[in-house]
Chains A and B, each alone.
Chain A
Amino acid sequence: MTSDQAWLRFSWRLGTLIALAAVCAAPLGACVRRPAEPTWAKFGGDPSQGAILVGRFGCGACHQIAGVQGADGKVGPPLSTFADRTMIAGVLPNTPENLVRWLRHPQAVVPGNAMPDVGLTDAQARDIAAYLYRGP
């Protein structure tokens, strides 16, 4: 056996080992990281329609929202990377259903806060929630 062959065999084994380790570690990584399936996909909202509605309902006057033109407001909190948020309005756990509820009836959830009930339908709120979770 030449040293060349030994080197080749060693490389092959090392490569196999690394590949095996990667395959084994992948599910482990999935446990630690966010689930692969996006949250918004479960409850039926259309994110691209949501992006249009965010513009129409003037959300950007008060909020910074990535991917929405002119959405640079600093009245309320920035909404980019909303999926990473823990609480909505400081009072509701960040779940899709809670987000829809908050978007539709902010004055009922936190009476006297600056965000108005703009008259979103359930479907519109779902579209907007889908966009906020997915991002641009």
Chain B
Amino acid sequence: MTWLIGVVCGFAAMGAGALVVIEGGLFNATASTPHIAAVGLAAHTAFIRSVEVRAKGVEAPTRFAPADVTAGFRDYDRSCVACHGAPGVSNASWAHAMTPPPPYLEDAARRWRPRELYWIVGQGVKMTAMPAWAEVRSDAQVWDLVAFLEALPYLTVADYARMRAEAGSATVATPGPGASPTAPPPFAPE
């Protein structure tokens, strides 16, 4: 019986502790400070596991057509590159001010299965500013983005610049902010 009292008291203490952290404003919610290492690790691991578990039921296409990659590129270059960059292309300066900072996706296809990329792109990621693109894109469009991410590890800086030129994006390998003041932003308004 005493062990039960111990467990109950333990949980009560944890609850009280959590209340103090939350109500006392002890959690630093600013984006100007990085996560405490343990918090960052816990959140990131929870995100990875969440995606792995929830994407299990998704049926991914066995292969993507070059046209899918091109369509995905157009959307990526318009909607994603500001936060995630591209080969030889920096993300926007304000993306460096985000916590967690949005990652470059050069090797995303080596870290995730296609179905998991589909899940992340389509469903977004809480508390990271990653939108759920399935809310504003068709299912096929989300898969096009996955097709592009699958192709990304094979693209050179020159390839990306050429795709931009062919798509009429007018920009050729946008250097970092400040380096080329005349270059248009790497994304066009919708």
Contacts and interface: CB of A to CB of B under 8 A. Distances in A.
Interface of A: 52, 55-58, 61-62, 69-70, 73-75, 105, 107, 112-120
A119 B90 contact: yes
B15 interface: no
Given A61-B106, A75-B107, A107-B173, A116 B101 contact: no
Contacts of B156: 112, 114
Contacts of B102: 58
Contact of B103 (A61, A74, A114, A116): A61
Interface of B: 34-35, 37, 40-41, 44, 85, 87-91, 93, 95-97, 101-107, 110, 156-158, 173, 175-179
Contact of A112 (B107, B158, B179): B158
Given A61-B104, A105-B179, A112-B88, 9 more contacts: A57-B96, A57-B101, A58-B102, A73-B104, A112-B157, A116-B176, A117-B175, A117-B179, A119-B90
A74 B110 contact: yes
A75 B111 CA distance: 11
Given A62-B106, A112-B158, A114-B156, A55 B90 contact: no
Contact of A117 (B40, B90, B104): B90
A56 B104 CA distance: 12
Contacts of B87: 114, 116
Contact of B91 (A55, A58, A105, A112): A58
A55 B105 CA distance: 15
A2 B4 CA distance: 72
A113 B104 CA distance: 15
B127 to A, nearest CB: 15
Ranked nearest first, the 9 interchain pairs of A and B with the lowest CB-CB distance are A119-B176, A117-B176, A61-B104, A116-B90, A119-B177, A118-B90, A61-B103, A117-B175, A75-B106
A116 B88 contact: yes
Contacts of B93: 119
Contacts of B157: 107, 112-114
B179 A119 contact: yes
Given A107-B88, A114-B88, A119-B90, A52 B179 contact: no
6 contacts: A56-B101, A57-B96, A58-B104, A74-B110, A112-B156, A116-B90
A46 B175 CA distance: 26
B179 A114 contact: no
A26 B104 CA distance: 47
